[in-house]
Amino acid sequence: MQPKQVKLYIKPYCPWCKMAMEWLNKHGVTYTAIDVIADPGAFEEMVKLSGQTRAPVIDVDGKVLADFGPDELEQFWNKLTSGRG
């Protein structure tokens, strides 16, 4: 499955964000990384989507996962690709 749009909201110093980007890169997922520290509007958008201020937050075609590590990302992705997400 290749989603139409994947947005990854990150904080540059966040180790979980780095792991999320590494996971997406390893699996060949095309995504847009959005630095919520550099862009206050993006921070507000992330909070609106997820209800929290922690990163990373991923938005895959409207399906949102917030404050996660690689294991949670893999489970989320597997549900999406199996059509159960």
SS (H, E, C) the chain: CCCCCEEEEECCCCHHHHHHHHHHHHCCCCCEEEECCCCHHHHHHHHHHHCCCCCCEEEECCEEEECCCHHHHHHHHHHHHHCCC
Phi-psi label, residue 56: left if phi above 0, alpha if psi -120 to 50, beta otherwise: beta
Edge-first strand order for the sheet with 32-35 is 32-35, 6-10, 57-60, 63-66
CATH number of the domain at 6-78, out of 3.40.30.10, 3.50.50.60, 3.40.50.11540, 3.10.20.600? 3.40.30.10
Tens digit of pLDDT at every position of the chain (85 positions)? 567 899 999 999 999 999 999 999 999 999 999 999 999 999 999 999 999 999 999 999 999 999 999 999 999 999 988 875 5
Would you state the pLDDT for residue 45? 96
For residue 1, what pLDDT is reported? Answer: 56
